[in-house]
Chains A and B, each alone.
Chain A
């Protein structure tokens, strides 16, 4: 598994961030072929965990715009605009097999397959430097 986080301060109040995540796919046991014993069909399976589901890769970006930088203020806010899964990659959560018209068809299921846009308004007590 590899994670990379890059932050770039465009100005005092504006920050651009990106996160890159990569993970090799989960090991899995797949049916590989059909064969017949005494006229009846059976499935042959691979060795345990011989195969992997496709790798996981995700890129996220965000833009943070801070409120004014005045020293004396009792409430500071910032806006965060972000895109989750920027590349729209359909990272498979699982791979499963099902029987259709006598054939075994495999499918991959991705929980999120589209970019997710979000906008967040964050408040904190104090000024920009306050924890």
Chain B
């Protein structure tokens, strides 16, 4: 057995992919019922070793509806094409089609997708819950968000929820003292890098079909989980929930995408599948086009969450003050400006604050408060 283990080896393997498999057109667009810019994104898929976004510019892009109206999209750069459409043209029940002509003359055409009706977002709420981990003695604490769906018989039976979270967080200290060859006192303390906000699109896919339910309602559909090991719940947290009503074909696409991204490992995992969109390369039908063009109705709701009583947070703000045992001599010019801790009564202490203690932007946030922020 030892000999077998010594003889086994792992080395890099380079499969020979067909070029048609590795470079496909990716066309993604969502026409909504909300008056405004309607956007379509066109790109090329990238190799596994260089996973970058490759936009495709200079395409001719057109949207057609089923009453023969045409809308030409303009290239707004970076693979995004858009057109302003007023509400009179965005009608639930109407079907829409996308037609793209690439710079080399290939024609990509989507099937017609019908825009359904969407109800208002009913309820979004959370519950404090513990989740099990791989260690049976350890549990993850946090809050689990849920949404209730209350749709009528005229509304769609297929839904996706897209979540964008925003949270406020603070540095550990404002800038009050720093050393750049001399100790500088900032009075009043500089709070310009103390308050930060960070926004992030939740990358999980949430889909629901009520096709097999007697009523078009669903209570307590689980959305995302916010752990107590992040700073998100430390000051104020918000999530914008977009409720997107889909056609059945669009739901099938997003549900396949969701399954592919949550495949289990090991003996009981299922194999990933090729995801079929609704876009055909009319010039070369054998080559698959990735992505989907959908006509969807959207409603949205934002909720705010203050720090939760009883939920202890356990996260690192990456601030690690260090005692200067030899005093200011320990600070070298390449460390300028070196931030020092304040004693709180007008004196500085020989304690070095790393940049993360005073500059909240180092944790990927911005100092500009969002318009919708209530505090």
Contact = CB atoms under 8 A, between A and B. Distances in A.
Interface string B227-265: 000000000000000000000000000000100110000
Interface size class of A (residues with CB under 8 A): 35 or more
B53 interface: yes
Interface string A29-56: 1111111111111111111100100100
Interface in B129-150: none
Contact of A30 (B15, B26, B46, B201): B15
Contacts of A108: 10-13
Residue of A44, A97, A112 with highest tally of chain B CB at under 10 A: A44
B90 to A, nearest CB: 19
Residue of B3, B4, B48, B261 with highest tally of chain A CB at under 10 A: B48
A119 interface: no
Contact of B46 (A33, A39, A107): A33
Nearest to A92: B13
Nearest to B288: A44
A40 to B, nearest CB: 5
Interface of A: 29-48, 51, 54, 90, 92, 95, 97, 102-114, 116
A38 B45 CA distance: 14
A39 B201 CA distance: 9
A56 to B, nearest CB: 14
A104 B48 contact: yes
B45 A34 contact: yes
Contacts of B43: 35-36
Please provide the 5 A-B residue pairs with the shortest distance between their CB atoms, ordered closest to farther: A104-B48, A34-B51, A108-B13, A33-B45, A35-B45
B174 to A, nearest CB: 34
Given A36-B41, A103-B49, A116-B4, 18 more contacts: A29-B271, A32-B17, A32-B21, A35-B24, A36-B43, A38-B28, A40-B203, A44-B24, A45-B273, A47-B274, A97-B48, A105-B48, A107-B10, A109-B9, A110-B9, A113-B7, A114-B6, A116-B3
A33 B271 contact: no
B291 interface: yes
A10 B17 CA distance: 48
Nearest to B25: A35
Given A35-B290, A114-B7, A42 B257 contact: yes
Given A47-B274, A111-B4, A111-B8, A32 B49 contact: no
A43 B3 contact: no
Nearest to A46: B21
Contacts of A54: 13
A92 B46 CA distance: 27
20 contacts: A29-B272, A33-B21, A35-B43, A37-B26, A37-B257, A45-B274, A51-B15, A92-B13, A97-B48, A103-B49, A103-B51, A105-B12, A105-B48, A107-B10, A109-B9, A109-B10, A112-B7, A113-B7, A114-B7, A116-B3
A38 B201 CA distance: 10
A48 B275 CA distance: 11
